[in-house]
Amino acid sequence: MARFKPTHKGLKLLAVDFERQILPGTFEHALCHLIDHELDLSALHARYQNDDGGASAYHPAALLKIILLAYSRGILYSRRIEAACRENIVFIAVSGDSQPHFSTIAAFVSGMGDAIASLFAQVLLVCDRQGLIGREMFAIDGVKLPANASKAKSGTRADYQRQMERMEQAAKTLLEKHQRADAAPTEAVMGQREANKLARLQKEATQLRDWLQANPHDRKGSRGSVILSNRTDNESAKMATGKGVVQGYTGVATVDEKAQIILDAQAHGTGSEQALLLPAIKAVAAYRTPQTVITADAGYYTESNCQALATQSIEAYIPDPDYRKRDERYADQGIHTAKPDPLWNKARSGKVATHKKKARCFKPADFVLAEDHSHCLCPGGKRLYGNGSNCTIGGRIALKFSGAKQDCVPCDKRRECLRTPDKTHVRQVAFLQGRRDSSPSVLEQMKARIDSARGKAMITRRFATVEPVFGNLRGNKRLHRFTLRGKDKVDGQWKLYCLMHNVEKLAHHGYAS
């Protein structure tokens, strides 16, 4: 029988040289060189006031190395980071055998504050010095991630008020039942289960009352509308994603095309990305040149954004939501959208999940406009008479018509014609004509730019620039949710992850060359 040398897989005492464990060309080597020789950590040093008294603290450079190394390995939670500092030789070598408690790690991340913005800017200067920023095209996009907040505890102040009243009424009913049981000696006393329920109701009612006192007003949206508050993290928001609705934040990143360096990272507690474009462009003004092209996702396509970009003479390409319908490259996309998502399809094997389609109402195309524009005919054959011949809708001339009550009320097509047939008596329809202003609007100009050969190329380049970044952060680094609460803390954690991404690019493309 062949003989082989033994292999050891258990515990073994070794003499280890920490410096030899950090190999050149690796992420940890670039991380240590950057923090030890390139970055100014004076802002972090100023947070410690133990010169004359108090216990010694862990060096902020060691803590920063530990956190960024953990994020690069897909380790997000502080308890697992603490375990890695005790058991993993690379973590031990990078941190200089520092073994901080998980509470120290969590407090350091949540307390970074404005210091992380300064560190992020310093790393960008190093990336620029290494020639990793091309300034030819910037891609802006956002990713929606769950927050450390309960989606079930969202609502308006009126919702919370009703919940509190219901809980107080339920607690009052339990108390009355308990008092009746005490008065009747033959009855059994309140059980432990009911007692626990009473304590829980009273506790939650008190928490609701305290929250209502601390937050006397509802959250307001960008246009003054009331948006849902959240009792666990009131700066987060409900967001619709491809996998359902989450309670979280939108992480916005501005990525340079050359080496996929993240130039700016912001986290916002809003599901609407429309208002986040201009702040992102403003944040990278120092790196933008007159020739720099801005590309963004269709979620940023609004008239105000397009107008602002035109006013600032910024060449930008923002596709509208329907651009794929006009692009021949997406002609067969229906084949793929019809396929069930294996990661989300909850139907049993062999069955395809079916969704009830919303009822379709008649559109203006279903109405026949008379040649002299005096009236139009509805699908039921009834006349609708003009009630506005010189109106403006979206900058275009519109002809408006309204049905007669004696025709619409008894019509058997009301369910197909009106969205709310129980409330609305007659149908109104508008036929859009040419633009009142003959010059094309900023939205039409953007559509024409997107439909051009350069616009189609820019869409492809945007995909290839920003989507791999999100794939790296979410897939490789396992950033599936934010672990902190509050916009400032979540923004700091998002910047830490994006900073780690830039250090990784430095290790592979900057220092490696």
Fold of 137-147+235-336+442-495: Nucleotidyltransferase; domain 5 (3.30.420)
To the question of pTM greater than 0.85 for the whole model, the response is: no
Q: What is the pLDDT of residues 165-220, one digit of tens each?
A: 888 888 888 888 777 776 665 444 557 777 788 888 888 888 888 888 888 887 77
Mean pLDDT to the nearest integer, 372-394:
87
Least confident among 48-57, 303-312, 490-499: 48-57
Q: What is the pLDDT of residue 12?
A: 81
Q: What is the pLDDT of residue 198?
A: 81
Q: What is the pLDDT of residue 438?
A: 65
User: Band of the pLDDT at 352, cuts 50, 70, 90?
Assistant: very low
Q: What is the pLDDT of residue 52?
A: 82
Q: What is the pLDDT of residue 292?
A: 95
Q: What is the pLDDT of residues 56-95, one digit of tens each?
A: 999 999 999 999 999 999 999 999 999 999 999 999 999 9
pLDDT at residue 308 is higher than 60: yes
Q: What is the pLDDT of residue 160?
A: 80
Task: Identify the H or E element spanning 369.
Answer: strand 368-369
Q: What is the pLDDT of residue 277?
A: 93
Q: Taking a C-beta distance cutoff of 8 angstroms, is the pair 484, 149 a contact?
A: no
Transcribe 373-431 into DSSP letters. Answer: SSEEE-TTS-EEEEEEEEEEETTEEEEEEEE-HHHHTT-TTHHHH-SSTTT--S-EEEE
Q: Taking a C-beta distance cutoff of 8 angstroms, is the pair 422, 462 a contact?
A: no
The domains of the chain are located at 18-45+57-110, 137-147+235-336+442-495, 157-217, 364-426
Mean pLDDT in the chain?
A: 87
% pLDDT > 70, the chain: 91
